[in-house]
Every structure is written in structure tokens, then in C-alpha cells.
Amino acid sequence: MQDVEHLPSPCVIVLVGPGAAGKSAWAAAHFPPDSIVSSDRLRAVVGFGEGDQSASEDAFALLEQIVARRINRGLTTVIDTLGLDAGRRRAWLEASRRGGMCCVAVVLDTPARECERRNRDRRRQIPATVLAAQMRSFAETRDKLGEEGFDAVLPASPVRVVPAAFVSAPAAARRQIEQPEGLRFGLHIGSFTFAGGRSATAGTLRVMVAAAETAGFDAVYVMDHFRQIPQIDRPFADFLESYTTLAYLAGCTERLRLGALVTGVTYRNPAHLAKIVATLDVLSGGRAVCGIGLAWFREEHLAYGWDFPSVAERYELLEDTLQVLPLLWGPGSPAFEGKRISVPEAMCYPRPLQEHVPIVLGGGGERRTLRLAARYADAANVFGDAATVRHKATVLRAHCEAEGRDPNLVALSHLSTVLVGRDDNHVSDLLDRQCPPRRDRARFAAETNAGTVADHIGRFREIAEAGAGEVVVRMPDPLDQASMEAMGSVISAFR
């Protein structure tokens, strides 16, 4: 892999170098034109051309306004000036800090003779005495940059601005190549609005899960809701009932594990849920996973006429459910009396084909949810970056030890959205097609973790190192064949 410096999106890049050092050419090679704020170009805006030195004061006043507004809006900004004014550098750095953005200096340390040669070839030459003064000033500035507080001082080598999740991905991807780790992958389906409408739904799902199986996914999960959630679409968007859908997918697949991520504990009587999951397990040949969670969507409860108990009451119901499910899947018909439910005969025949149906508890709440996972579940499903996963793993391990349970028996599962392309051009094409109108492209890229195959290999390696044994991904368009194939390349790196 070529070493390319990764900078977090958004960031501020301050170019530093004398005239004719190649600053504008370097910026144009690595950044889109709209992200570059050039003092020369602004002279042409407020004066008669780029060489209008009499317009410099107005050009810099305009430059400062543009830089400030871009930082306030959280936009990656490349400042293309000489970069030799210490006061201006300090102001840009401070503005970046206020905006919570990374700020780096890129040094164009071009040999003096090369700058002089380039200057001679210019149509509008810099006076030799001016260029010589710039080079002297640059030599002094270059030696001081490391003490000014920039997040990094970089040479003018290749860079990529990437979502923060991928900043350290190259080193992690190399580790995965040199010392591979295994990781399970699940596809999360959270939308059922397909081209062709209702009549195309069944066939579209069949195509989707067949592609997922070919790509190497280990499992497919659906959301357990009865109307679309506001984070994804409008409430009247098409949305399928989860367990009916999973039963259909059982007939469309051969090896994918099947589950709801996660079942709302308030939606079904726990004994009824046990029967549903057992049936799914039998009909799928032993591939069911039981995801369970607290349920949060109040409006959905109200719309369907379900009670929406308090958080404390739902936690009691959740703990009862976690206790009674294994009883219902086991032999005999023992009675169960919990805080919220009573099951006189915990009986379920046919029993699941699996001797132990895995239970995945959704949520990363450290005081109650992870404690319940340590006590009753086989895995806890959490969100967040690698540092968050590492912290949750530490908390979960502590709960396991407090409960007297082997921490190795309770895994961490991780859920996130991914947009995967073969290379930067493919990622850019996917963003062009999938970023909603009037959405900030960079923010959409961050929300979807838009990156190349190599980026995702590195990111998932870091998540695996942090303690996750399974990663579950939402893909903005899982029907995009090229993107699914790229995801398959990511998966194959962990086999």
C-alpha cells in the first residue's frame, strides 16, 4: 500500500512556501477547487488580475472572511497563500481550534534554484528581489512551524481527507495483512422501499440476500419495527414485519444466520416471542439469532395501541424476558414468575434445532444494559468508534467478573453504516449518487463511513482489536452490485 497521509474531515490546511514553490499545483492535485481559498485568485476577484498587488489588502480581507465562514460551517479549507505571516497562521490555527477542527501546515520546501527556474518560466514573474526575500522568510518560518501548535507539519506529499474513522486505517490495514484476525459480518436491513413498489419487494429482498451470501456475510438482520423510524424515512414508507420477513429470508438463503436487531421487548408476549424464534430456528435449519432490546419508539407504541411503560418497568420486563427465553427453549415445562410476567408452563415444542439459541442484547448502557448482557446474553450490540468499543468491552468484562461469568462467553457486536467503494473514484461516484439533495456531502460521508476497501479493512481491524467479534453494517444501497462486491473484498480480508 502506498503511504498517503490521512487527514480527518473536516480540517484546515495551511500551505507554507515561497512563490513558485508549487503550492497551488499541490492543492489542485489533492482538493476540489471549491475548498481552496487562494489569495492570488481573490486578487483577480477584487482587482484587475492575480498580479494586481494593489488589491492585496482587499484580497486578504476577503480571504479572512471566507476562511472564517468555512470554518464556522465545518468545511475543509485549504488556505493557499505564502503562509509566511506568523500572525495570520496563529489566527487560522485559533479559529480551527474554536471550530473543533484539525489544522495542519503543509510545507512546500522546494529548492531555491527550482523556485527561481519556475519563476523565470512564468508569464507574470515575481521580482527576483521579492522572491529572494520570500525564500529567506520561508527558511526562518519552516524551522518554527513545529512549535506553533499545528496538529501536524507535513511535507507536500500525497494526502487524503477522510472521515475521522479512517485516519489511522492504513496502519491497521497493514496489520490485518501481516497478522490477520477473524471477524464475523452481518448485513442490517432497515428499509424496504424498493423500485417497483410492493409487487417487487419479495424479489428484491431475494436478490439482496443472495448477493450478501455471495459476498461472504455471516448473518442478515432486520429492524423490529412496525413503521419506519424517523432517522431513516417517513412514517408511511413501506416497512415489513420483522419475523415474517426473516421466515421468508430463511427460504431465500442457505447459510446466513437470521435475526432481528433488535426485537422490542414490549411488542410481543415473551413466551410468544420464544415460540416465534424457535419456529424460525427449525424452519431455517438452526440459523436463528434472538436479538432483544428495551424498545424506544414511543410514537410507534401509541400508533398501535400498545402500552409504553417507564424505562424502569421496561428494564424489569427485559430481565424477565432474558430469563424466560432459555426456559422456553429448553426441555420440560417449568413455571416462571418474574417481576413483570408470569409463565405457568414454559413449554415450546418443537424446540429449536440449536441447543443454545444465541441472544444478542441491544444497547451499550453501562450501568444496566451491559450488566444484563453479562448476566444473561451471548453478546451485546453497541455503536461508536474503536475507542468507544474498547471502553464498552472493558465495562462488559468488569460486569462479567462481578457476575462470576467467564468474559469470553459474552461477545461484543458492533453496528454502523458503511458506504464502500473499490477506490477513491468509486467512493466519489457512490457519494454523488447516494448523498441526498441539499445534504452536506462531507457530513454524509462521515455518517455513512464512506471509504475504500482498504479504509474499511483498517477500520474493522481496529474495531476487532477493540474487542468486537461481529460487525453488523447498514449499506445505503445494498442493491448496488459494485458496492456489495467491494464489501465482499473487505469481508474476505478477515477470512
pLDDT, tens digit, for every residue of 394-403? 999 999 999 9
Set of cell numbers at residue 85:
505571516
For the record, the C-alpha cell of 281 comes out as 430456528
Can you read off the three cell numbers belonging to residue 170?
492504513
Same domain, 176 and 318: yes
Contacts (Cβ under 8 Å, ≥6 apart) of 450: 163, 419, 421, 427, 430, 431, 444
Judge if 181 and 110 occupy the same domain: no
Same-domain pairing of 181 and 156: no
Domain end call among 162, 188, 214: 162
Residues 287 and 289: their CA atoms lie apart, in Å, by 7
Query: Residue 1: what pLDDT?
Result: 44
pLDDT value at residue 145 = 96
Query: Are 138 and 156 contained in the same domain?
Result: yes
* pLDDT given at position 360: 98
Q: Which of 101, 129, 162 is the last residue of a domain?
A: 162
Residue 84: all three cell numbers together: 509566511
| Residues 75, 200 within the same domain | no
Angle, CA 33 vertex, CA 53 and CA 79 arms, to 5°: 55
- Characterize the bridge pairing of strands 342-343 and 5-8: unpaired
pLDDT > 60? residue 213: yes
Residue ending a domain, among 140, 162, 184, is 162
Place of cell 395501541: 305
* Cα-based angle 353, 359, 361 (whole degrees, multiple of 5): 165
Stretch (H or E) spanning 409 = none
Mean residue pLDDT across the chain? 96
Residues 55-98: pLDDT tens digits?
999 999 999 999 999 999 999 999 999 999 999 999 999 999 99
Give the pTM.
0.93
What helix, strand, coil percent values describe the chain, rounded to 5? 50, 15, 35
Rounded Cα distance between 399 and 96, Å, is: 40
C-beta neighbour count of 5 within 10 angstroms: 17
The CATH number assigned to the domain holding 411 equals 3.20.20.30
Same domain, 157 and 212: no
- Stretch 305-321: mean pLDDT, rounded? 97
Q: How far apart are CA 493 and CA 453, in angstroms?
A: 10
Q: Are residues 372 and 441 in the same domain?
A: yes
Beta-sheet pairing, 77-80 with 36-38: parallel
Across-strand partners of 292? 263, 361
pLDDT of residue 411: 97
Mean pLDDT score, 437-455:
94
pLDDT in tens, 322-342: 999 999 999 999 999 999 999
- What is the average pLDDT across 291-307? 96
Number of folded domains that form the chain: 2
Q: Which of 51, 54, 44 is nearest to 63 (CA)?
A: 44
Give me the CATH number covering residue 69.
Answer: 3.40.50.300
Query: Residue 316 is part of which domain span?
Result: 169-492
The C-alpha angle with vertex 353 and arms to 352 and 357, in degrees rounded to 5, equals 60
Q: Are residues 157 and 80 in the same domain?
A: yes
Confidence class for position 493, pLDDT limits 50, 70, 90: very high
Beta bridge partner(s), residue 162? 8
